[in-house]
Amino acid sequence: MGFLEEFKNALQHTIDQGAYGDARALLQGFHRTGTSYDAELFYLEAALCYYEAHYPAAAFFARVGYEKYPDFVPFQELLDLLSEEGHAFDDYQPKPTYDCSFLNRPLRIVLYEGVLPMMDYTAEQFRKTFELLGHEVFVFNDKTFSDSAAALLAFAKKGIDFVLLFNNVGSALKDDQNRNFWEQLNVTCINYLFDHPLYYYQQMESMPRNAVVTCVDRNHVTYIRRHHRKIGRAVFFPLGAEYVPQEMQIPWEERPIDVLYVGSLKDTQDIEESLMSRMIGEYLLGHTSLTYEAAAEYCLDVSLDILKKHGIDIAVIKDLHDLELSAGEYETQIRDLLNEEPQYGGGKKSDAYSILLSDLLQKYRYIDMKVNAHFRKAMIVTLVNAGIDVHVYGNGWTIPELEDQPHFHYCGVISQTECIRKMQESKIVLNSMPWFKDGAHDRIFNAMLCHSVCVTDSSRYLMEQFTDQKELVWYSLEEMDRLPKIVRGLLDDPKKAGEIAENGYQSAILSHSWENRAMELLTRFMTDDFWR
């Protein structure tokens, strides 16, 4: 019996046993071999997706398999089961047809690199998986712009299926007539944002017509749909992590670093402040579950309500200068109201209000960075003051609170590849979310794939994916004083910590590696799932 038959038998047996996580792990390993699917493997992939309740993916694999192998009856049976409103498979007129490029022919994909190390690192993770699956990838290098542009024009002659770029870089690429290159080619331009779209306001306003903007937090999608209505497609697409084979892992108890944090501390000392920025920042510090946008809008609403109660015609408030000038006279009353529990209003907002809110959000967009820096610093200071050794990598950590602190070990700045190596040497990896309240940072998934215990603040998305004390460990921004006890508890209980690390690894390898993200991106592109 050959390898393929043995593998299919093992996969079928694992699915029959109901061990769907193990079956997905088998398929993950199989993908790395680059072996082509036959009819039975298409079906097993589709069936596994069905058992995992990933019904769109199950339908996708079943239909692709049907088009390649129309005589394989189980495809029709599965599609009957998945069909909407009980329609039989044969009721579809015409038969369901997908562009089967994902598995039938190589896609032609453009990746944009050569700007920032983190973007290049991520592009390379996608490139490796795309090429492993047999797709043709052209890498546009911004550092050699002229040569890359000429090569891109030659590559485009045979067609481009989509371009994947990061943080808007390359979205405004022009042809020799100053027209957007991707619009002229009618190529889907997937713009993968790592940060809040607030930081790219102008670029977001000039996205290509055929752009798809993917966001790492679902709140960012909501923001785009409200404030950038020209963008027709904005979807949630989380970050991923680099696959690290188990045989490369150091046993948890033997790791030389107890606690690791990799991340910069942004310097916000020189940022100009105003009445509204102070109020929004203070409000966020006291309401840590809110997004910056929600806090800013609530502070704006309270300010306008107070002004109306004092007989001021808010229609005359044309800009932020007018608002702050008027609100300054009633600052005490505004702050008193902000100390109460928020009562969010609804109803349709005027165009003037929308413009004022948009300007407010844009002008004070640094506030979430400033509040995040506050908690990030508190996380490290609290731990080292409690006598816990913490190794830190990143910019900005030469601060008075940590000067001459013996338990604080500042180790400089390292690359993403070196960051992964350090995580493999660490028992615990700390994470402080960059104010993502419905998303995730890649530190979490990388820590898991390195068999470290990730200790992090939470988000709605993370709480959907993981359970406290099972795959990772939560701490609360509002109860930072409890963090030392949480960390010591893990260090003092290697058995429990090792179980959490193993559970985190298994969860991340099944759902949160860059390979997972690349496969998801291809599937969503093929099934038009990027359309609203």
Q: Do residues 302 and 286 make contact, with C-beta atoms less than 8 angstroms apart?
A: no
Q: Do residues 405 and 384 make contact, with C-beta atoms less than 8 angstroms apart?
A: yes
Residue listed under structure tokens 């108890």: 253
pLDDT at 497: 97
Give domain limits for the chain: 3-98, 103-240+517-526, 246-268+368-512, 275-365
* pLDDT at residue 260 tops 90: yes
| Pairs from 246-255 (Cβ < 8 Å, separation ≥ 24) | 246/451, 246/505, 248/424, 249/424, 249/450, 249/451, 250/424, 250/425, 250/451, 252/427, 252/451, 252/494, 252/497, 252/498, 252/501, 253/494, 253/498, 255/424, 255/425, 255/426, 255/427, 255/452
Residue listed under structure tokens 């997937």: 190
pLDDT band at 132 (very low <50, low <70, confident <90, very high): confident
Q: Tell me if the domain spanning 103-240+517-526 has CATH number 3.40.50.
A: yes
The residue with greater pLDDT, 4 or 384, is: 384
pTM of the model: 0.83
pLDDT at 8: 87
What secondary structure does DSSP assign to 153-177, as a single string?
A: HHHHTT--SEEEEETTTTTT-B-TT
In sequence order, the β-bridge partners of residue 393 are: 262
* Domains 103-240+517-526 and 246-268+368-512 alike in fold: yes
φ, ψ for residue 410, nearest 5 deg: -85, 130
* pLDDT at residue 295 tops 70: yes
- Using CA atoms, how far apart are residues 260 and 447, in angstroms rounded to an integer? 10
Which of 20, 83, 11, 19 lies closest to 49, judged by CA?
20
What is the homologous superfamily of the domain 246-268+368-512 according to CATH?
Glycogen Phosphorylase B; (3.40.50.2000)
How far CA 150 is from CA of 144, 155, 164, 265, in Å, comes to 10, 9, 18, 40
What secondary structure does DSSP assign to 191-248, as a single string?
A: EE-SS-GGGGHHHHHT--TTEEEEESBHHHHHHHHHH-TT---EEE----B----GGG
State the first-to-last Cα distance of the chain, in angstroms, to the nearest integer: 47
- Using CA atoms, how far apart are residues 447 and 427, in angstroms rounded to an integer? 9
Q: In one letter, which amino acid is 35?
A: T
* pLDDT at residue 220 tops 90: yes
* pLDDT at residue 111 tops 70: yes
Contacts of 283 (CB under 8 A, 6+ apart): 290, 295, 298, 299, 338
| Residue range 159-197, pLDDT digits in tens | 999 999 999 999 999 888 999 999 999 999 999 999 999
Q: Do residues 237 and 215 make contact, with C-beta atoms less than 8 angstroms apart?
A: yes
What average pLDDT does range 46-50 have in this prediction? 84
Residue listed under structure tokens 């496969």: 519
- Mean pLDDT score of the chain: 87
Two structure tokens written together for 190: 């997937």
Neighbours of 178 (CB within 10 A): 6
pLDDT at 82: 75
How far CA 273 is from CA of 61, 163, 215, in Å, comes to 54, 40, 29
pLDDT at 96: 36
Two structure tokens written together for 45: 């992939």
Q: CA triplet 76, 71, 61: central angle to 5 degrees?
A: 50
What average pLDDT does range 76-94 have in this prediction? 55
